A and B are shown apart, each in its own frame.
Chain A
Amino acid sequence: MNEKKAAILGEIPRLRRYARSLLRDRDSADDLVQDCLERALVRLDNWQTGESPRRWLFTIMHHLFIDQMRKVNRRGEAQMLPLEAGEAQAAPAEQVESIASREIVDALQAISPDRRAALVMVAIEGFSYAEAANILGVPAGTLMSRIARGREELRGLLDDSARRRSIRVVEK
């Protein structure tokens, strides 16, 4: 196995984590990773030695994600993934999500894809603003406002669901 492939293999866990935060559904997320890997292998020559494989791969995957989101939007589909309750329940549950985890994962899916990507890139994947802006292909200012709006939106959704819960308790 050559060095480049070894480096790519080493990034798969992170790519999967990023994909999962973008798409939630495990199989869809792995399909996205697979598309990313396939595209990366085709373009192996474009990868400059010395360039971080992580940044390179995240960039490829992000483009795939955004392209597809745009296509889906053009097709006029309100929702890109069937996230009906039944579907989500049927997802393999080898790691049992706590209520808090499920809530925040749900909320994350509800914010716009651009903000979701920006927030996840920095808050979970630990990229710097400069790196994240580079991967997402936006100016640093845009990135910052996406992160700020994304965080606000996420918190708002969590507050809402907490409120709904307490209303239910009161109604009993």
Chain B
Amino acid sequence: MTRRDFSERDIHMALDGELPGEERVAYDSWLEASPEMKAKSVRYIADRAALRAAFAGVMDEPVPARLRQTVLGEATVRAAAWRSRWWLSAAAAVVLVAGGLAGYVAGIDGIGRGDSADDQLAEQAIAAHVIYAAEKRHAVEVPASDMEHLQTWLSNRVGLKLVAPDLMAEGFQLVGGRLLPAGHGKAAMLLYEDAKGERISLFVTAESADKAKGTYMAEQGGPEAVYWLDKGYGCAVVGSLPRERLAAVAKSAYGQLLAGLAS
């Protein structure tokens, strides 16, 4: 029989099934002879069981539609489409939890075209923000003082019942809005400003078949977009705020937009 000195390292190997079978008997008697090593082994076995149990549920969860879609989508996958945004999206992760309005969230299924409409929306929203948020006098077409007209006009043009979210609680006041082209349709842009002159914009379109959400940054250090796409509408909140603040503003805006759409 093989005789060798065992060490703590062998505890890991035994646990991970890497200990050669012919050493097992000798290992077991070594372990029995050392209460300290035995205790270690017992704890590690328990920890592994706890780890497995903690993540076991994930295997039973239904595969999210967007992941199936990514694999099944027949559209060509562009190399450039790969873009890491998951580490940013955590900031926005809370946002959709509140978005359970039945009509909008239900009924999304099957295979989308996977043409990364989400990237398009975010890019358009960021482009609009970069151009118009920098404008001092011509940032908007219709000022907030003409609120009723602003909402009716944009709702009619975009084809959604648009209620400008009240972001005063987040420190942002509505400046006004404008109508923009977006893909084959139109988008409404609502511009907000805080006391320090920091601006954010809300970009809403009626076009979207995919369901997605995330955050997007066109370039390092540039403004960031938190966006959602759902059946019948897409929305992005763009700004150069600290991530948590942007996520908080976006959450508030999104909740109010959804409530407005359904009103």
A interface residues (Cβ-Cβ under 8 A, vs B) = 1, 5, 8-9, 12-14, 16-17, 20-21, 23, 25-35, 37-39, 41-42, 64, 67-68, 71-72, 80-82, 87, 90-92, 94-95, 97, 100-101, 104-105, 108, 119-120, 122-124, 128-129, 144, 147-148, 151, 154-155, 158
Contacts and interface: CB of A to CB of B under 8 A. Distances in A.
Contacts of A101: 50, 53-54
A148 B87 contact: no
Given A37-B71, A122-B16, A128-B17, A104 B51 contact: yes
Main secondary structure of the interface of B (DSSP, over half): helix
A28 B86 contact: yes
5 contacts: A21-B55, A34-B86, A82-B243, A101-B53, A155-B44
B52 A123 contact: yes
Contacts of B91: 82
Interface of B: 8-9, 12-13, 15-18, 43-44, 47-48, 50-55, 57-59, 61, 63-64, 66-68, 70-72, 77-79, 81-87, 89-94, 96-97, 213-214, 243-244
B92 to A, nearest CB: 8
A20 B57 CA distance: 11
Contact of B55 (A17, A68, A148): A17
Contacts of B82: 35, 38-39, 42
B93 A28 contact: yes
Contacts of B55: 17, 20-21, 105, 124
Nearest to B16: A122
A17 B12 contact: no
A67 B94 CA distance: 25
